[in-house]
């Protein structure tokens, strides 16, 4: 990433995952020289589920195929700590979707290793795992960078934390949190079959290769859990009622049979779009935490003046009601999906860890 710089302390980083997001992290690392972030991060470990490479002096930020070409070592989570070494600022960047890696977050934090993550399985699943992460951070002072987990780096979690730090109580949150579902519903056109929209979204790379992962609403459940817990409402997974858009017959099909069966989505969606339109409303996929603590992920028919009714493309849009934003919510909107934005958010979080280390050194 950079040569070790004598004047500035360098954070050593281990990158886990070399898929879409991990590759974009490597690409962005290669662009840092010449910017204020140059020389702050030293890549000492990179791996995926199969192989890994280490170099204490720093690995070059090459594309994964080149970086891992000569990898001889099988990947192992235990090796990550060894690769990071015993001292200094050490950061694990989690660009996987692995429950095993997420289960390790609290252990690393407990040993003073910072974690920055795009993976929602650390804070967006069981309350126990979320609690273990909070406790480990409190015990060691290690930082958990999570801005890539919801809204791909949009200032959502940090705004909630800043409001709470100022004494605010968060009353309600409502958000369009899935870029793919936002894109699928933006036209509000009952004449275009929903299955055709799903195929187009997949072709654009807006959905997962298996679009059922988006349509099930499970990814949005995790995002809402992370937002709610950050806002001071420690919900359990089962506290969020999720309406899946995948009918039972479609959920059990093998992936190669899915395309031919997508048409079953069309009639129910057309009915709902037409009903919403007849009522002068628009259909949106909304994650909502209500003032009474009820939490839902569902299609909602919204009036045009609703804070979530507008927005275009794959934009995320989140409305926050709190003590000071009581009548009119605070609304945060912007591009909230994609590997490039997610990678930028991960590296921003890693650089923030290093900046806080600098601040502590300066104060000592
Ligand atoms: N793609 C996006 O736009 C986006 C946006 C926001 C957040 N995210 C989140 O970012 C994460 C990564 O997404 P992605 O799209 O990059 O996924 P992806 O393309 O499927 O890549 C996942 C990577 O994780 C690796 N991996 C799996 N288990 C591992 C383990 N135990 N140790 C080390 N590496 C392991 C995989 O290894 P192999 O190569 O060996 O399979 C693969 O390289 C996910 O949590 C996703 O929800 C993605």
Please tell me which residue in 223, 229, 281, 288 is annotated as part of the active site: 223
Candidate of 50, 52, 97 to mutate for ligand 1, largest count of ligand atoms within 8 Å of Cβ? 97
CA distance to 18, 91, 212, 308, per residue, from 73 (Å): 15, 21, 35, 48
108 C-alpha to ligand 1 centroid (Å): 19
CA-CA distance, 307 to 330, in Å (whole number)? 9
176 C-alpha to ligand 1 centroid (Å): 23
226 C-alpha to ligand 1 centroid (Å): 19
Q: If pLDDT is split at 50, 70 and 90, which confidence band does 3 have? A: very low
Q: What atom in ligand 1 is closest to the CA of residue 121?
A: 45
Catalytic residue flag (residue 120): no
Q: Looking at residues 334-339, what average pLDDT do you find?
A: 91
pTM (2 decimals)? 0.95
Q: What is the CA 349 to chain-centroid distance, rounded?
A: 13
The SS3 call for residue 52 is: strand
Structure-block tokens of residue 357:
């280390």
Q: Terminus-to-terminus CA distance in the chain, angstroms?
A: 28
Q: If pLDDT is split at 50, 70 and 90, which confidence band does 224 have? A: very high
pLDDT, one tens digit per residue, over 109-118 is 999 999 999 9
Residue nearest atom 28 in ligand 1 by C-alpha distance: 49
Lowest pLDDT segment from 172-176, 203-207, 231-235? 203-207
pLDDT, one tens digit per residue, over 318-331 is 999 999 999 999 99
pLDDT, one tens digit per residue, over 261-285 is 999 999 999 999 999 999 999 999 9
Query: CB under 6 Å to ligand 1: residues?
Result: 16-22, 47-50, 75, 95-98, 100-101, 118-120, 148, 152, 337-339, 342
116 C-alpha to ligand 1 centroid (Å): 14
Backbone angles phi, psi at 10, to 5 degrees: -115, 140
Q: Looking at residues 183-199, what average pLDDT do you find?
A: 84
Q: What atom in ligand 1 is closest to the CA of residue 52?
A: 33
Q: Residue 7 has what pLDDT?
A: 52
Q: Residue 324 has what pLDDT?
A: 97
């Amino acid at each position: 990433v950079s040569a070790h710089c004598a004047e500035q302390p360098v954070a050593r980083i281990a990158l886990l995952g070399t898929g879409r997001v991990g590759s974009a992290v490597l690409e962005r690392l290669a662009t840092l020289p010449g910017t204020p972030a140059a020389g702050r991060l030293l890549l000492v470990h990179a791996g995926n589920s199969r192989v890994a490479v280490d170099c204490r002096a720093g690995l070059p930020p090459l594309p994964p195929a080149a970086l891992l070409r000569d990898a001889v070592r099988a990947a192992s989570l235990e090796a990550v700590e060894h690769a990071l070494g015993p001292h200094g600022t050490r950061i694990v960047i989690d660009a996987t979707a692995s429950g095993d890696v997420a289960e390790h977050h609290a252990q690393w934090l407990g040993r003073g290793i910072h974690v920055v993550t795009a993976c929602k399985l650390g804070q967006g699943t069981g309350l126990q795992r979320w609690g273990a992460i909070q406790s480990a951070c409190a015990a060691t002072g290690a930082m958990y960078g999570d801005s890539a987990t919801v809204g791909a780096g949009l200032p959502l979690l940090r705004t909630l934390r800043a409001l709470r730090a100022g004494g605010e109580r968060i009353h309600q949150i409502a958000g369009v949190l899935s870029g793919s579902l936002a894109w699928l519903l933006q036209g509000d056109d009952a004449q275009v079959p929903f299955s055709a929209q799903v195929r187009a979204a997949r072709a654009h790379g807006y959905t997962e290769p298996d679009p059922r992962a988006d349509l099930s609403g499970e990814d949005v459940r995790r995002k809402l859990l992370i937002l709610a817990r950050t806002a001071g409402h420690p919900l359990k997974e089962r506290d969020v009622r999720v309406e899946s858009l995948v009918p039972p017959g479609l959920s059990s099909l093998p992936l190669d049979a899915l395309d031919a069966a997508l048409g079953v989505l069309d009639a129910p969606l057309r009915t709902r779009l037409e009903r919403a339109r007849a009522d002068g409303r628009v259909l949106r996929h909304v994650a909502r935490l209500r003032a009474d603590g009820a939490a839902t992920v569902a299609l909602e028919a919204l009036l045009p003046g609703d804070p979530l009714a507008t927005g275009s493309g794959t934009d995320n849009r989140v409305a926050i009601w709190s003590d000071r934003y009581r009548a009119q919510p605070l609304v945060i909107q912007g591009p909230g999906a994609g590997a490039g934005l997610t990678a930028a958010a991960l590296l921003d979080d890693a650089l923030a860890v290093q900046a806080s280390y600098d601040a502590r050194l300066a104060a000592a």
